[in-house]
Amino acid sequence: MRDTAPPWARPLAALAVGAFFFVPLYVGVINTFKSPDQIRTDPIGAPHPFTLRNLSTLLTRPDNLYWASVTNSILVTGLSVMVLTVLSATLGHYLARSPSRWGRGLMLLLLCGLMIPPQVILAPVTYVLRAVGLMGTLPGLVLFNVGYYVPFGVFVFTGFMRSVPRDLEEAAAIDGATRGQIFWRIVFPLLRPATASVLIFLGVWIWNDFIDPLIILGPSQGTTITTGIFRSVGVWRTDYGTIFSLMFMGTIPVLVFYLFLQKHFVKGLTGGATKG
């Protein structure tokens, strides 16, 4: 950007780049409102005629594809995120307040989990789940999510715990409060920004997870939104009406969630990036 460039150059360039980038998003949304024939022949044009038929067909399917998928996704995401918040907040607090060699070793062990791809552990995870009889069930998937994502939660909570003054906890201890009371009544409410980060990131990630529900829930045991979309592509490769409306309806919840919490989302993402 030269100082000599005309003042309209930057907004125009930004708009052009943004519009180009936007094309796939436009294709994703616009095709929801077209007839399946038009999606096939003219995927990029405006709807002609505009139709809600795809959505109404999806919502009233006899096999309940949408409602079953969305229920499973909400249950798995909600339960995983709730358990993860509680466990990673308490574990994060324990680690932040145990600066011994044992605590540091434990922390290091957990941080290693941040970069392990699920593909490396999924096969043995199925043995573990089969051994406890939870293979192919929602609780099994929730348990795996908790184990797999707890390092991220701990990472966020311990980082934030440093800003919570220890004196507060010691004062409460002198007043006779138990450790549980101190944590849940005093510390946890102070951790709200960290809790928000954990809820937002893990909520979006778990909602969008694909390989984990695909393998753990298996082919016969119901679907989440993502595996539902995948199976629709496999079974009815040309049934674009179902595929695009399912993607639209499956993304709306997470998109609304994101729009409301956009500031938090960006703040959580950039917190570590700028300080390094």
Partner 1 sequence: MVSDVATRPRAPRAAGRTRHRRSRGVWPRVWHFLSFGAPGVLIYVCFVLVPIAVSFGYSLTNYNPFNPPTRFVGLRNYQLMLQDDAFLTSLRITTILTAIVVIVPNVLGLGIAVLLDRRGWLYNALRGVFFTPMVLSSVVISVIWTRMLQDDGPVNQVLRALGVQDPPGWLSDPDIALYSLATVLCWQMLGFCVVIYLAGLSGVPKELMEAAAIDGAGPVRRFWRVTWPMLAPALTVNTVVLLISAFKIFDHVQVMTQGGPGTGSTATIAFLAIQTAFVDNHQGYASAEAVAMLVVIAALTAVSLAVLRRREIDQ
Q: Give me the least distance between CB of 126 and partner 1, in Å please.
A: 9
Size of the site for partner 1 (CB under 8 A): 87
Q: Give me the least distance between CB of 24 and partner 1, in Å please.
A: 5
Q: Which is nearer to partner 1, 13 or 52 (CB)?
A: 13
Among 14, 52, 168, 252, binds partner 1 (CB under 8 A): 14
| CA 196 to the chain's CA centroid | 13
Q: Which is nearer to partner 1, 8 or 62 (CB)?
A: 8
Got the DSSP string for 22-61? HHHHHHHHHGGGS-HHHHHH-SSSPPSS---HHHHHHHT-
Name which of residues 46 to 75 contact partner 1 (CB under 8 A): none
End-to-end CA distance of the chain: 27
Q: Tell me the C-alpha distance between 167 and 181, whole Å.
A: 15
The answer to the question of residue 254 lying near partner 1 (CB under 8 A) is: yes
Q: Which is nearer to partner 1, 56 or 178 (CB)?
A: 178
Q: Could you tell me the two tokens for 76?
A: 């798995």
Among 49, 117, 176, 189, binds partner 1 (CB under 8 A): 117
Q: Could you tell me the two tokens for 1?
A: 């950007």
Q: Tell me the C-alpha distance between 6 and 180, whole Å.
A: 62
Q: Give me the least distance between CB of 62 and partner 1, in Å please.
A: 23
- Residue type at position 35: S
Find out whether 51 and 31 touch, Cβ atoms under 8 Å. no
Q: Give me the least distance between CB of 235 and partner 1, in Å please.
A: 13
Q: Give me the least distance between CB of 12 and partner 1, in Å please.
A: 10
Name which of residues 193 to 232 contact partner 1 (CB under 8 A): 204, 207-208, 210-211, 215, 225-226, 229-230
Neighbours of 97 (CB within 10 A): 16
Of the ranges 8-16, 47-55, 57-65, 189-197, which one interacts with partner 1 (CB under 8 A)? 8-16
Among 17, 46, 82, 252, binds partner 1 (CB under 8 A): 17
- Residue partners of 85: CB distance under 8 A and separation at least 6: 153, 195, 198, 199
- Residue type at position 37: D
Of the ranges 48-56, 62-70, 125-133, 191-199, which one interacts with partner 1 (CB under 8 A)? 125-133
